[in-house]
Structure 1
């Protein structure tokens, strides 16, 4: 049999979608906070813009997911959201920088004294990111829903084995785009005042990868399951599960921490003198570290359970932030961010837990809620709080505060789950599972005593289906040869 006969076409295209989509996002997403700095915006303004776009995506993602579920046209909705959001995101390249009243050699520090919250630059960036961010990432939620629907039909296939290709693309292109910016800037702008980075090359790379990703979505078999329930009814059904609400609360806390770290970690590295190559290498290492963990994430979660997998996320984040607070050379962040690879387990645990808690026709809504909670509400809260802290107290105070916050989140989630969610959670080891126990046909109080007789009678299911008749006879072990009549159909 030829080797290509072993290749599953559906899963191959899913891998391609993840690879090209995250490759495109890697060209701009890691650099957005420092691109805003490049345009002349302040840390507090960057925090407000980032928080607002994430809050908006908290509503856009589940809303678009519900539209896909309600209409049954998941593929069409995913393609349109990618194309629309990519066009808007690409337009950020043409936003003019904040004009300086002190001449071309004005530093960031000098601009801060005259910067206005009503500048054209601020509002253009604000509205473009406001409208594009949620749509951009909602397509990922829909593809993740499709991945779970497809892999459930494929024996031996897991979500992590598909999603790891997104990390491969993200890590590879974050490195290449960083090198490209440094190379392009040095080769074309040797007399550049202030050594400003030219970001145009990465925006064009971003657009190219997004178009290829849309093409892959176009050839992917439609994963629609048909029209389903309304958005509010579906969300109400999902959020009526207390254990899922507690799990989403932990996802929210982790999103707040990750959002604060992602936005201002690169700003901190820039303050330490990092080049675009250093930042690209950092992102390459942190995402490539996710690849093996995505591959084994399903096995790992089966061993320790979804809840413990998520709890360990708080500890890995704490180690990351503590390390950031001590570095003085930006290259040390590359070594520290190996720990960040654990986020592969974090995300697999969050999405798979939501998938198991949702009915088949609510998969897109469930994934939208998880993504909106982490990248929307979580990132929004994290950026809204961390922006002023970074601006007023600096990076060291911010990252050590986040370390303490991670430890508080670890114990808070542990207590909430143990007190309110454990009995309802059907997914983790150590929890009573209905499918793992043999159902009792007769209750304990109705069980006959050891020396009792029961003549006649029948056994039926809860639906009234007759399984057979039962006749018990007193066992007489002291007389060999006696036989016990048990079941007769």
Structure 2
């Protein structure tokens, strides 16, 4: 695993700040270790249909389209993220804790909207903080070095959640509502720990130049207009990617349940994918710093539709687990390098808004994707849903390859140099 002592990070932070930031990233992503496998199962155990499951998940993510840009601009204006991160963590924790008492779709609508917005902001704000620490030349490596701790957290929490259900509170095959409640009794404590860590993580402010000709990172990067022109095709292709992958993934635990999987099989499958994600993420940031963001991202874009097609002929949980190992080349790349891409094309002063745009594109995809997938799965089956989403993902890959330029500043400097 990469050391956190990359030159830029070591110069910017004291050791306690590095540990606090790594711990915060560990916990933010760890929260998905109980949310991703068990939220759809809990909705189904509470009596929601597949179509209602898609609408509930979509509504929560759709609200993010209104809230996330506001939070991004607010934190840019204040030039501070820790206070908003603390509030977001507390709100998310309380929302998911209250799942225990939700009994109808409307209650899940409200609680999910609060929880999803909190987790989205925590991710986006963490990206901004790391982007400011890293600077443009080593952004991929530094972000991946911190983000990999989040993947470790996901594995730990996913396996603990499966053990909690299968080994402590219920029998191995029991996925009733009462059996799943303990996950939402104990899991939200993670958000309380995030709120505490937010009191000590670094939150570097923009350094204003002493005169109009002063350089430095605060004034580096393209103009706002140039950033938007570069970002637009990337955000559209990213939207299609997220729409396909996370629309289909919202039903993966239900698909595994239909194949006879137990809670430990389900959480073990998600954890296995994240183990591969860790292995990829340990190296991919430095690789993208060296050869450019686009070639690395292209692997994730092209592979994802093929992965969705491979789920269709599954005959049991083991088949799904083997396909899920490809997650390492999907989120292992996209989770680190997409953030670095956005940091590359944004200035310090608009980086919060740029990351909020990335979060909003993902939020829109996750809002519409599960709802559309729920309707397809309800009417035509989960196999047809995977096939349809593979076509959507293929469209995103074509757009990315054809229209999205390279963003890595090292690559741009190499091409502009006399020797290049």
Task: Map residues 212-291 of structure 1 onto 2, 5 A cutoff.
Answer: 212-225=193-206, 237=224, 241-291=228-278
How far residue 271 of structure 1 moved from its aligned partner, in angstroms, is 1.2
Please name the residue that 2:95 is paired with. Answer: 88
Please state if 1:204 is matched with 2:182.
no
Q: Distance in 2 between matches of 1:326 and 1:257?
A: 18
2:64 is equivalent to residue 57 of structure 1? yes
Question: Offset at 1:367?
Answer: 1.4
Alignment check: 8 A CA contact 1:182 1:197 kept: no
Aligned partners of 1:184 and 1:201 also within 8 Å: no
User: Which residue in 2 is equivalent to 1:451?
Assistant: none
Following TM superposition, by how much is the alpha carbon of 1:407 offset from its aligned partner in structure 2, in angstroms? 2.4
For 2:161, the equivalent position in structure 1 comes to 177
Contact 1:69–1:226 (CA under 8 A) maintained in structure 2: no
Instruction: Measure the CA separation in 2 of the matches of 1:220 and 1:10.
Output: 5
- Per chain length, whose mean CA-contact separation is higher, i.e. which structure has more relative contact order (CA < 8 Å, sep 6+)? 2
Larger mean Cα displacement after TM superposition, 304-313 or 365-374: 304-313
Counterpart Cα distance in 1 of 2:409 and 2:291: 7
Moved more, 333-342 or 377-386: 377-386
State the partner residue of 1:371: 359
Contiguous gaps of at least 5 residues in structure 2: 209-222
Using the TM superposition, give the Cα deviation of residue 181 of structure 1 relative to its aligned residue in structure 2, in angstroms: 0.8
Cα distance change on mapping 1:250 and 1:239 into 2, 3 Å? farther
1:151·1:158 contact (CA, 8 Å) conserved in 2? yes
Equivalence for 2:105: 122
Would the aligned equivalents of 1:71 and 1:226 in 2 still touch at CA under 8 Å? no
- CA gap of 1:275–1:61, structure 2 versus 1, over 3 A, is same
Match of 1:166 among 150, 167, 173: 150
- Is 1:147 the counterpart of 2:116 in the alignment? no
User: 2:49 aligned with 1:25, yes or no?
Assistant: no
CA displacement at 1:40 relative to structure 2: 0.3
Q: Secondary structure at the match of 1:218?
A: coil
CA distance in 2 between counterparts of 1:9 and 1:155 reads 21
CA 1:407–1:437 in structure 2 vs 1: closer, same or farther (change >3 Å)? same
Matches within 5 A, 1:293-304: 293-304=280-291
Determine the C-alpha separation between the residues in 2 that align with 1:413 and 1:434: 21
Give the Cα–Cα distance (whole angstroms) in 1 for the partners of residues 344 and 227 of structure 2. 14
What are the within-5 Å matches in structure 2 for residues 89-488 of structure 1? Answer: 89-96=96-103, 121-152=104-135, 158-186=142-170, 198-225=179-206, 237=224, 241-342=228-329, 343-374=331-362, 376-417=363-404, 422=405, 425-427=406-408, 436-437=417-418
Q: Which runs of 5+ in 1 are unaligned?
A: 97-120, 228-235, 440-489
Deviation at 1:322? Answer: 1.4
Q: Tell me: CA distance 1:195–1:73, structure 2 relative to 1, closer, same or farther (3 Å).
A: closer
Deviation at 1:297, TM superposition (A): 1.3
In 2, distance between residues paired with 1:84 and 1:300?
A: 37
- Structure with greater helix share of residues: 2
Say what the alpha-carbon RMSD is for the aligned residues. 3.0
Of stretches 277-286 and 356-365 in structure 1, the one that deviates more from structure 2 is 356-365
Shift in Å, 1:364: 1.7
Q: CA deviation digits over 1:312-338, x for unaligned, max 9?
A: 222221222112101110122111111
The Cα shift of 1:159 comes to 0.7
Normalising by the residue count of structure 1, what TM-score does the alignment of the two structures yield?
Answer: 0.74
Distance 2:309 2:86 in 1: 40
For residues 390 and 358 of structure 1, what CA distance do their matches in structure 2 show? Answer: 39
Given that 2:165 and 2:180 are in contact with CA atoms closer than 8 Å, whether structure 1 keeps it comes out as: yes
1:42 maps onto 2:49 in alignment: yes
